[in-house]
Structure 1
Amino acid sequence: MSTDFQQARAALGERLRELRESAAGGRLTGTELAQRMGWTQSKVSKLETGRQTATAEELQAWAEATGQPESAEELLARLRGLESHVRSWRRQLASGHRAVQEAHNVAQANSSVLHAWESSWVVGVLQTPDYARAILSRFAELHQSPRDIEEGVRSRMRRQEGLYDSDRRYHILLWEPVLRSLVCPPSVLAGQLDRLAGVVGPDTVELGIVPLSASLKLPPGGGFWIYDDAQVIVENWHAELWLDDAASVSTHLKVWKTLRESAVFGADAQNLISQARRALNT
């Protein structure tokens, strides 16, 4: 997590402690507030020390439990500021996958030059509907989120309109294991590989494959997107990080350029895709 995020979460914790100590009717101890809210004392402590991020519902409950309901809006504004950088999957997927996909659609539509690195799966903008359906289903199972899979797939497919925008450029790098990872049925992966073969060549898309046998100056690491050299989006199992500070952007761009040195393009990329396709025997 970014230092800015940690500082903001600590500041939110300090504000929560202030509200507890200035509670209507007199100062509450952490134990007393926990009992009033039906929580453990350790949860109160973690929230006040910035070791845990409160949900919107928890902030609302805190404001009411301290007898200061008018402070709820302020607390929620602080939370929104946090989540502009760190967006937990639990919160994002509370209302399903479509809203998450729409947020990415907007971010990509507002960008002209996009760089991507992915070591685990085919990036969303190049996915087939069947492949996207398989990926979203896996994440719905992991996070126990609403299964609005079809709405999420349709939204993700709309993102691909950008591939045909002559004013936009996509520079996408995939690690070769992505071509062989059975995160979906073999028949679905076969269709996905056929789709990838079709995007090698258009002037709006530069698709590079980093061979498994290539010498790497950096470990592959996790996937990320860079939008207009101004914002980075990084995914992990818990959350997405939306980072716009210069240090984060420059570091990820340096990583991308370093990984690109090991990539192959054009006919060589086509050969790797074709080899993976033949290996499926479908």
Structure 2
Amino acid sequence: MTSVQQARQALGGKLRTLRVSVGLTGRELAGRLSWPASKISKLETGKQAPTEADVVGWVGATTGDEQDSASVLAMLRTMESAYAEWQRLLGGGARHHQSTWAGMERRAARLRVFEPAFVPGLLQTAGYARHRLAQAITAFGAANDIDDAVRARLARQEILYDSRKRFHFVITEAVLRYGLCPPELMLPQLDRLVAASTLPNVRLGVIRFGTPFIIGPGCGFWIFDDRQVIVEIFSAELTLTQAQEIDLHEKVFGAMASVAAYGADARAVLTRVMEELRSTLPDNDDVGATTP
């Protein structure tokens, strides 16, 4: 279940509480609002999201309390702002989306990132970034501005050299092994990760295969200071700002970080994968680079 579905169910639960508090059945409330009874059920179970007019009508037909109305409307608006379809996000082109992320990163002093499947954007090479962005453009039918988008993604990486900022990345070993780009492009990407792990304000953790997970790795997420969490799922980018959501993701990140390898141990994983990948190439004398 996604956070959006959970939020919709929580909102439905709040509406049900208001109805029950004044002793109305679902059918009685439907009669007061001139709605089909099925709509009451769908709203309360989270199968349908209410409109603001629905919320105002519901509260007016139950408690009539302005504070109840303000509370439920706040829940609704938080849920709506958290869910932004990829098609809309990419409507202005992939480059525009990269610029939006750059702004969020510039405003943050501390970034914590967990990625179970992809190399984080701030650590991507141009070759890897091009393949990832091409996949998104194809999947969502976005405008093909890939050259500008790649440049914008690489420009974001300048903040890694800002000594005032702190970055903590945790990735799984699967990130290193998924065939998301050709091997000859993945080799320099792995070398890039080795180099990034040596930056003084960057911590890079790798969760090795065979490591027992405290919490199973789900979707990736970015924690910006203690202000917000961005979660990427297939159909949307979720922006979470409620304290309990941020606290939960901080706990998950802590669990992931606690089982990751760092420093020389992380670089040993990276270089081992690089050597294995090099051995699969027909002519591997001058492909990629290895770091001792």
Normalization by structure 2: what TM-score?
0.71
Q: How does 1:165-180 map to 2 (within 5 A)?
A: 165-180=162-177
Matched, 1:206 2:208: no
Question: How many pairs align?
Answer: 227
Distance 1:276 1:242 in 2: 34
Q: How does 1:39-58 map to 2 (within 5 A)?
A: 51=48
Quote the offset at 1:195 in angstroms: 0.5
Distance 2:93 2:187 in 1: 28
Determine if contact 1:96/1:146 at 8 Å carries over to the other structure.
yes
The corresponding residue for 1:262 is 259
The corresponding residue for 1:37 is none
Which of 239, 242, 249 is equivalent to 1:245?
Answer: 242
Distance 1:80 1:105 in 2: 25
RMSD between aligned alpha carbons? 2.8
Determine if contact 1:5/1:85 at 8 Å carries over to the other structure.
no
Quote the offset at 1:84 in angstroms: 3.2
The corresponding residue for 1:235 is 232
Q: Kindly tell me: are residues 261 and 91 of structure 1, through their superposed partners in 2, closer, same or farther at Cα, counting changes over 3 Å? A: same
Q: How does 1:267-278 map to 2 (within 5 A)?
A: 267-278=264-275
Percent identical among aligned pairs is 35
Determine if contact 2:7/2:79 at 8 Å carries over to the other structure.
no
Determine if contact 2:8/2:49 at 8 Å carries over to the other structure.
no
Which of 103, 117, 131 is equivalent to 2:100?
Answer: 103
The corresponding residue for 1:73 is none
Determine if contact 2:109/2:164 at 8 Å carries over to the other structure.
yes
Determine if contact 1:5/1:86 at 8 Å carries over to the other structure.
no
Which of 132, 135, 160 is equivalent to 2:132?
Answer: 135
The corresponding residue for 2:288 is none
Q: Which runs of 5+ in 2 are unaligned?
A: 16-34, 37-41, 52-75, 279-283, 285-292
The corresponding residue for 1:157 is 154
Q: Secondary structure in 1 aligned to 2:117?
A: coil
Determine if contact 1:222/1:235 at 8 Å carries over to the other structure.
yes
Write the letter of the residue equivalent to 2:121.
G
Q: Secondary structure in 2 aligned to 1:95?
A: coil
Distance 1:53 1:212 in 2: 44
Distance 1:221 1:248 in 2: 15
Determine if contact 2:213/2:259 at 8 Å carries over to the other structure.
yes
Distance 1:257 1:81 in 2: 26
Determine if contact 1:226/1:233 at 8 Å carries over to the other structure.
yes
Describe the superposition over 1:162-196 as per-residue Cα deviations: whole angstroms up to 9, x where unpaired. Answer: 10001000000000010111100111100100101
Determine if contact 1:173/1:207 at 8 Å carries over to the other structure.
yes
Q: Secondary structure in 2 aligned to 1:264?
A: coil
Write the letter of the residue equivalent to 1:164.
Y
The corresponding residue for 1:92 is 89
Q: How does 1:49-88 map to 2 (within 5 A)?
A: 51=48, 84-88=81-85
Q: Secondary structure in 1 aligned to 2:174?
A: helix
Q: Which runs of 5+ in 1 are unaligned?
A: 12-28, 31-44, 55-78
Q: Secondary structure in 2 aligned to 1:171?
A: strand
The corresponding residue for 2:218 is 221
